[in-house]
Amino acid sequence: MDMDYQVLAELLFPNIVETVDEIEARFPARQLPEGAVVSRMAPSPTGFVHLGNLVQGTISERMCHQSGGVLFLRVEDTDAKREVPGAVEVLIDTLKHYGIQFDEGATHDGDNGIYGPYRQRQRAGIYHVYAKKLVCEGKAYPCFCTEEELNAMREQQEAAKENFGYYGKYAIWRDRSLADIREKLDAGMPWVLRFRSTGSIENQFKFDDLVKGKLTITENNIDHVLLKSDGIPTYHFAHAVDDHLMHTTHVVRGDEWMATLPFHIQLFKALGFKLPKYVHIGPLMKMDGASKRKLSKRKDPELALTYYKAEGFPIAAVREYIMTILNSNFEDWRRANPDANIDDFKFSAKKLNPAGSLFDYAKLIDVSKNVISRMDAQEVYTLLVEWAAEFDADFAARLESDPDYAKSILAIGRGGKKPRKDMATWKEAKPYMGFFYDAYLEKPVFDEKFEKSVVREALNRFLEQFSIADDAAVWFEKVKAITTEMGFTTDMKAYKADPSAFPGTVADISTFIRQAVTGKTNSPDLYTVMQVLGYDRTVQRIRATIESL
Ligand code: GLU
């Protein structure tokens, strides 16, 4: 075909005067040690930040920072229709909240780094320079197909059971004359820029993905869109240009992009760019009955990162959990190094499950309980107050009204070899420890098996002997003494052998006292609870219970 591509390029991009060489000079090679990984998070600002973002971010972050490389944030805002105002800020804040620190990229106050702009809509001029170059080389062309024409084409392909897309005989603008193009342009018709694919679905080639392993890939034969009619690039074109100019060495992204990977490989080659390494991560899955399925935005609230904050999972727990599902050897490492910084763990992208990680709520709870159990009372206090300030102001006010009291409560069972594992989330703190505050104390409901007079007697006897100065052993001896004085037994074996021989056991007597003091049948160690409550509060609660009986 007789077409002067140079003329076409001028026709399409009359205002682009910059050359590729000039652009390249603005994005010099990075000076980094051998083997340093340069990667990025490239989220679209839709306002919804999900666990998948954090998983991808964690993988990129670890790969970069473990190798002495650079992690940057690029905002992929090419789809203006999906953009939510303020979403970029939410995104940056949320990622920061979870400890993803960028070395470079978009920030609240603009760009940080020399490889910007880091928001794609601000890079339109850059993409156009490369687009113009492709047109000059005959590797891209304008297409004036209307929405209707494309729909009709699709229907035709469906009817003929052919592959969908703009290729072969369907690529009707691929070889059009300059005159035809000029006519449309003169008439002010909108156009998109398409890639002129030279691939064939008859050809395959080998490709190595860092997660998926060795793959056999079929060439792309579709003339995909590079620039949309508003001049904004598609993801594909922006990916190639940006990751080239920003010197990305590793692209970590969801495996939904595998389908267009053949095109991306082709595009990098057409542009003369070195192909980065790809780390295609599987989706987050969960068990639904006996089968696995992808986590869904609609069905699974735990996909949204806001969920973890509202539930009160500590940040450290979420990070620890993510590492647990990403690298199966993490748990063993953690057991061997309970106090080590999580970043000392050697993360390996090779250990990622190619099929995707399995999200397991029970595991998250377990990890979180462990994380909280390793914290000291001061840390728990600080994080709990921070959470409560946002989600339970009344509770926050009570905690803050007497920090020492709150910390002495939170210190129960902490430290030592086997710390208590009561809480998985800050939301569980109030049900666990609320009874220490009169406002949250519930009225006890005693087992109807026992006469009220019996409960009253046990409580009265306890009050007569109670001393806050007793140690735990003396305290318990007194409870046992009350037990036998009332005809109950301390001999659990004897009771089991013949329950009808006794009105009850030492456990029942303890429960009466526990319920009077805590309102509940379950609580941390009762002796310790009384020590924390102090003499006056303890006595006052038992008296109030006796009166209410
Ligand atoms: N904006 C793309 C997305 O949100 C980024 C994929 C990539 O990391 O290249 O899926």
pLDDT tens-place values along the chain, 549 residues long: 446 999 999 999 999 999 999 999 999 999 999 999 999 999 998 888 899 999 999 999 999 999 999 999 999 999 888 888 888 888 888 888 898 999 999 999 999 999 999 999 999 999 999 999 999 999 999 999 999 999 999 999 999 999 999 999 999 999 999 999 999 999 999 999 999 999 999 999 999 999 999 999 999 999 999 999 999 999 999 999 999 999 999 999 999 999 999 999 999 999 999 999 999 999 999 999 999 999 998 999 989 998 999 999 999 999 999 999 999 999 999 999 988 999 999 999 999 999 999 999 999 999 999 999 999 999 999 999 999 999 999 999 999 999 999 999 999 999 888 888 989 999 999 999 999 999 999 999 999 999 999 999 999 999 999 999 999 999 999 999 999 999 999 999 999 999 999 999 999 999 999 999 999 999 999 999 999 999 999 999 999 999 999
73 CA to middle of ligand 1, Å? Answer: 11
Contact 500, 494 (CB under 8 A): no
Among 39, 40, 44, say which to mutate for ligand 1: greatest number of ligand atoms within 8 Å of CB. Answer: 44
Among 257, 258, 264, 267, say which to mutate for ligand 1: greatest number of ligand atoms within 8 Å of CB. Answer: 257
**pLDDT in the model for residue 83:** 80
| Any ligand 1 atom below 6 A from CB of 60 | no
Cis-peptide, bond into residue 33, ω within 30° of zero: no
| Any ligand 1 atom below 6 A from CB of 266 | no
| Any ligand 1 atom below 6 A from CB of 40 | no
The residue nearest atom 4 of ligand 1, judged by CA position, is 43
| Any ligand 1 atom below 6 A from CB of 42 | yes
CA distance between the termini of the chain: 101
235 CA to middle of ligand 1, Å? Answer: 8
Which atom of ligand 1 is least distant from the CA of 76?
A: 1
74 CA to middle of ligand 1, Å? Answer: 9
Alpha helices in 3-46 (DSSP H): 5-12, 20-26
Among 54, 76, 209, say which to mutate for ligand 1: greatest number of ligand atoms within 8 Å of CB. Answer: 76
257 CA to middle of ligand 1, Å? Answer: 8
Which atom of ligand 1 is least distant from the CA of 239?
A: 9
| Any ligand 1 atom below 6 A from CB of 264 | no
> How many Cα neighbours within 13 Å face the side chain of 317?
28
**pLDDT in the model for residue 81:** 82
**pLDDT in the model for residue 206:** 97
Token pair of 18, please? 């910059």
What Cα–Cα distance (Å) separates residue 390 from each residue in 244, 309, 372, 393, 407? 43, 10, 19, 7, 20
Residue 436 to residue 398: CA distance in whole angstroms = 10
**pLDDT in the model for residue 82:** 80
192 CA to middle of ligand 1, Å? Answer: 22
Which atom of ligand 1 is least distant from the CA of 56?
A: 8
42 CA to middle of ligand 1, Å? Answer: 5
Going by C-alpha positions, the residue among 463, 467, 462, 459 that lies closest to residue 479 is 462
pTM of the predicted structure, to 2 decimals: 0.89
Residue 14 to residue 399: CA distance in whole angstroms = 67
Alpha helices in 352-505 (DSSP H): 361-373, 377-391, 393-401, 403-410, 429-433, 452-465, 472-485, 492-497
Query: Residue 207: beta bridge partners?
Result: 215
Residue 545 to residue 538: CA distance in whole angstroms = 11
75 CA to middle of ligand 1, Å? Answer: 9
The residue nearest atom 3 of ligand 1, judged by CA position, is 43
| Any ligand 1 atom below 6 A from CB of 253 | yes
The residue nearest atom 10 of ligand 1, judged by CA position, is 43
125 CA to middle of ligand 1, Å? Answer: 21
Going by C-alpha positions, the residue among 157, 236, 230, 162 that lies closest to residue 195 is 236
Residue 117 to residue 429: CA distance in whole angstroms = 45
**pLDDT in the model for residue 417:** 83
